Structure 1
Amino acid sequence: MDQEKFTKDSMPTAPESYWRDSVTLPSFEALKQDIDADVTIVGGGITGITTAYLLQKEGLQVVLLEGGEILNGTTGHTTAKITAQHDIIYDELIGHFGLEKARTYYVANMEAKEFIENIVKENNIDCDFEEQDAIIYATSDDSMQKLEKEYRAYERLGIKGEFLDKIPFNITIQGALAMKNQAQFHPLKYLKHLASSFVENGGKIYENTTADTIEEAAKSKVVTRDGYKVTSDFVLVCSHFPFYDKKGMHFARLYQERSYLIAVKARDEYPGGMYLSADQPTRSLRYAKMDGENIVLVGGEGHKTGHSTDTMKHYQALENFARQTVGIEEFLYRWSAQDIYTLDKVPYIGRITSNDPSILIATGYKKWGMSSSTAAARLLTDLVLKRDNPAQELFSPSRFDADPDFRKFMSQNMDVAGHFIKGKVEGQSKSLDDLSEGEGAVVKINGKRAGAYKDEAGEFHIVDTTCTHMKCELEWNNGEHSWDCPCHGSRFSIDGDVLEGPATKPLDKLNSN
């Protein structure tokens, strides 16, 4: 870490994750030939790496493909809370799925926490793993009523919880609900060990290898953008948003949100615990270790991807909250993350269709990927090895419950249609001559909608703003300097490279003539 880049009075100009900056990860070559394996895993985040680690230990030959660098997606930009307290959810799960399935959800996530803890202890991994209580607090009467229902759900499910009437910050609350014995850690220090162990035991990782499609057969073939093929008995799609969507069934049942974090050296001593607001806009607090000292991670400000173009305002809102709650002695980092939601708030983990046992997916963790992804890795491993797992039915991707799925399905797809039409009729916001250095905007090039960014050297980076996934028009994200899709959440760099799926193909580059 370069300490000279930190300033006491201003937020860092460029987004960068503390997790990524504080660890050196191994690098791997791209795939350059056709190969065979028992299992192909697409996606080098926590789900893919944990599943690869588990299956390789079971004696299977596993190949992992990553479109960019491993651990550079949501896993590298998380808050890294390992908890089964996923906002206010258990009262809703009981009402929608019933008591037993709600309990299954809780047990799967607690077993995931215990799994991580055991791996850390057994391998003596230095990853700042610490048990902490997870605390959700209410500042309004409405949220307080929801917390009271949630506490009753805890009691019915046997969850160890505690009601609090105050928290150790300058925040006036109606009440708070603590889930005991949860945890936090440095996710990349943990996963670096798993990735290294996987490779040492014969596993193969290929970076900068984008999976484009799957040729289904008795042995399926994952076909990369460069035309190489990996043939295997099983394909596990762990690429955050599934790059392969048979019959288009998942694009309409998932949506993506972005949220924001800042890391600061706090003026006040942090009291411990992991905190989340029940009210909107969301506020999240936890501490982490940097060079032996505590720093504070402040997160929140979630919104659908592509629905907020002035994203710097979200960082500024977190700055104001941090000053009020913990004080800011020094700014350290700012970064954002992308999370996927299912319609019923429960992840899709399992066979992509009920009658196809060889292609499996894992997605839709909301903002709770550390526990959910580990639960997913354990379930995917059991499915490949044909072992029973009590969470299989709950997480099945082929489920579709009428309430609340149907209403959310209709609402989500009407929203997509609205943004599709809006993007097609909306005019440009600026001309090329109007752009300042470091600024991007929608412009017209030869009468066609385009996206232009003017870099610090005065050079223009111009792309076609039509998303390569399903032809929606992209919007400029000024906080991350990216082009974001308001329909399904794909994101692209200033030069058109894919940053987030479901898109797999880059944008066309244009010139200003």
Structure 2
Amino acid sequence: MSPSEKIPQFPRTYWREIDLPKFDVLNEDISVDVCVVGAGITGITAAYLLAKEGVKVALLEAGSVLNGTTGHTTAKLTAQHSIIYDELINHFGEDQAKLYYESMMSAIQFVENSGVDCDFSKEDAYVYATTEQYVETLKTELEAYQRLGIDGFLKDTIPFQHIPVKGALVMRNQAQFHPLKFLRSLLDDAVKAGCSVYENTVAMNIEDEDDSPIIETKAGHRVTCKHVIMATHFPFWDKPGLYFARMYAERSYAIGIKTDKEYPGGMYISGDGPTRSIRSTPFEDGQLLIIGGENHKTGQGENTITHYEALEDFAEEVFGINEYHYRWSAQDLVTLDKVAYIGPITSERENVLIATGYKKWGMTTGILAGHLLTDYVLNRANPYKELYGPSRFHADPDLKSILTANADVAKHLINGKLEFFPREPEDLQVGEGSVVMFNGKRAGGYRDENGKLYVVDTSCTHLGCECAWNAAEKTWDCPCHGSRYAYSGGVIEGPALKALELLKEE
């Protein structure tokens, strides 16, 4: 059987296989102290902490709670964000690099101390090298560990004989958990403490006059508040800070399998490419192995189904696949200096707060952000404000990164407009999507499993780049700033707020 025949037909994430609460849509104007937009790990953590402090909170979610990036993670709770600490020391200094580590460890401690039944377990985390060259990188990173007082050491091997490892860097006392079991408990407690939650409520704009921001929803309702927290992955209102020019979007993939081999424990990630992430979680009467990796910029690269095939090939070779249960993908944003933006959207708008740019390490960073944003709202001191402040700028690497990122955007903006595609919408087979020519112009077509044809204008409604077809997820993805759309045109992920124009449906 070929790899593509084994792959589950549709993406499905293991974490959402639990009962989650349902909430009504917002159907009236309301007034609260804080409006949190986005019901993922950051938004729910912040709403929980604020509600427990007696703050009147409304939590708005454009779709269903916990169905975004938080529901599509590998769920490692770790301060070992691959290789980062030597770079942090060079760009931020030793004191700030140590604060980065301490902030992530505080997030792990929060989950451990919560008492929530969420499959929490302490695990060592490993970054491994498959080349002698990368072993030298691990040695340099170990020196950074030692300077910062991080509990870690080098090993020659990891317990997987089919991975050609040359060395591995271990960080002790890390953890893993079931993120939705944990956050479901926090959400329930937030509601009990008075937090109002609204699903299928799309925030479109913010009016920030007279120090009382007003969130305008797609349905025309208004939420007046003293503070806004944008926990929407990408800030839905980003014009003041121009965040689309200060980050880029990457996709990554994961599969969930069962194997006959006993799992030895630990969490693993390759340092050199291609990225491979390995962990396990309790599942049925045994363990589900979660294999992740295959990073690429959103809307760029090869046929996306090949990324699942590559992970399957790796899992088969290393573990042997007994049962193939799940496949899913996620998207995250990377900042210019690889540290998240958490705090006021600009120095002039201190009551509009953001949290974004987690670089695929959203479990610890999201929990940290919930605490940090709570302290901003309550005007409390926090040692991590300077490190994560969104208004920071460092000439190196920020200047180089912003020039490189925006040159890439310009290339895709121009090239996409000049492409010609000989296919017509009528050529598409059932289950097939492609760029096509429609009425003499570039468009996107998809024919669903029932034979229904959808044709959309592929020009991204954010800044006009041409979207690419994502065959694995059946979406239109923008290669410039990471907006994603359903095959019928609806927005799945921002920064875009408006749907692609539906040109034909039959």
TM norm structure 1? 0.96
- Is residue 309–residue 476 contact of structure 1 (8 Å, CA) maintained in 2? no
1:19–1:188 contact (8 Å) kept in structure 2? yes
SS at match of 1:127: coil
Work out whether residues 9 and 330 of structure 1, in 8 Å CA contact, stay in contact via their aligned partners in 2. Answer: no
CA contact (8 A) 2:240 2:346 kept: no
When the two chains are superposed, the root-mean-square deviation of aligned CA atoms in Å is 1.4
Residue of structure 1 equivalent to 2:277: 284
Could you tell me how far apart the structure 2 residues matched to 1:432 and 1:353 are?
A: 45
Q: Structure 2 vs 1, CA of residues 429 and 439 (structure 1 numbering), >3 Å: closer, same or farther?
A: farther
| Residue 76 (1) aligns with residue 71 (2) | yes
Structure 2 equivalent of residue 267 of structure 1: 260
Aligned AA (2:159): P
Are positions 1:44 and 2:39 aligned together?
yes
SS at match of 2:240: helix
Q: What is the alpha-carbon distance in structure 2 between the residues aligned to residue 512 and residue 66 of structure 1?
A: 28
Deviation at 1:495, TM superposition (A): 1.0
**Alpha-carbon shift at residue 458 of structure 1 (Å):** 1.1
> Contact 1:85–1:179 at 8 Å: present in 2 too?
yes
1:187-217: per-residue Cα shift (whole Å, max 9, x none)? 1011111111111221111111111010012
Equivalent position to 1:18, from 14, 19, 43: 14
Distance 1:392 1:140 in 2: 38
Distance in 1, matches of 2:86 and 2:66, equals 33
- Structure 2 matches for 1:55-454, cutoff 5 A? 55-119=50-114, 121=115, 125-169=116-160, 170-217=162-209, 218-428=211-421, 430-454=423-447
Q: How far has the Cα of 1:149 moved from its partner?
A: 0.4
CA contact (8 A) 1:79 1:297 kept: yes
Residues 377-426 of structure 1 deviation map (CA, whole Å, 9 limit, x = unaligned): 11101111111100000000000100011001000000000000111111
* Aligned pair partner of 2:27 in 13, 28, 32: 32
Cα distance in 2 for residues equivalent to 1:210 and 1:331: 35
Amino acid at match of 1:31: L
Residues 34 and 229, structure 1, Cα contact 8 Å, conserved in 2? yes
Aligned identity (percent) is: 54
Q: Is the 8 A contact 2:462 2:496 kept in 1?
A: yes
Distance 1:154 1:429 in 2: 55
Consecutive unaligned residues in structure 2, runs of 5 or more: none
Distance 1:130 1:368, change over 3 A: same
**Residue 332 of structure 1 aligns to which amino acid in structure 2?**
H
Task: Report the AA paired with residue 80 of structure 1.
Answer: A
Q: Secondary structure at the match of 2:322?
A: strand
Task: State the number of aligned residues.
Answer: 502
User: Would the aligned equivalents of 2:79 and 2:104 in 1 still touch at CA under 8 Å?
Assistant: yes
Assess if the C-alpha contact under 8 Å between 1:309 and 1:475 holds in 2.
Answer: no
1:253 and 1:304 mapped to 2: Cα distance? 15
Residue by residue over 1:65-93, the C-alpha shift from the partner in whole angstroms, topping out at 9 and shown as x without a partner, is 11111111100000000000001000000
How many Å apart are 1:429 and its aligned residue? 5.3
Q: Distance in 2 between matches of 1:373 and 1:458?
A: 41
Distance 1:185 1:429 in 2: 49
Specify the code of the residue in structure 2 equivalent to 1:404.
P
**Aligned AA (2:310):** A
Matching residue of 1:508: 501
In the alignment, the residues of structure 2 paired with residue 276 and residue 11 of structure 1 have an alpha-carbon distance, to the nearest angstrom, of 23
Report deviation, 1:428. Answer: 2.1
Q: By how many angstroms is 1:248 displaced?
A: 4.9
Structure 1 letter corresponding to 2:49? L
Q: 1:334/1:85 Cα in 2 relative to 1: closer, same or farther (>3 Å)?
A: same
Range with bigger deviation, 240-249 or 472-481: 240-249
Residue type matched to 2:306 in 1?
Answer: K
Whichever residue aligns with residue 213 of structure 1, its letter is N
Normalised to the residue count of structure 2, the TM-score between the two structures is 0.97
Which runs of structure 1 show a deviation greater than 6 angstroms over 4 or more consecutive aligned residues? none
Amino acid aligned to 1:349: I
Cα 1:33/1:309, change in 2 over 3 Å: farther
Kept in 1, the 8 Å contact 2:454–2:505? The answer is: no
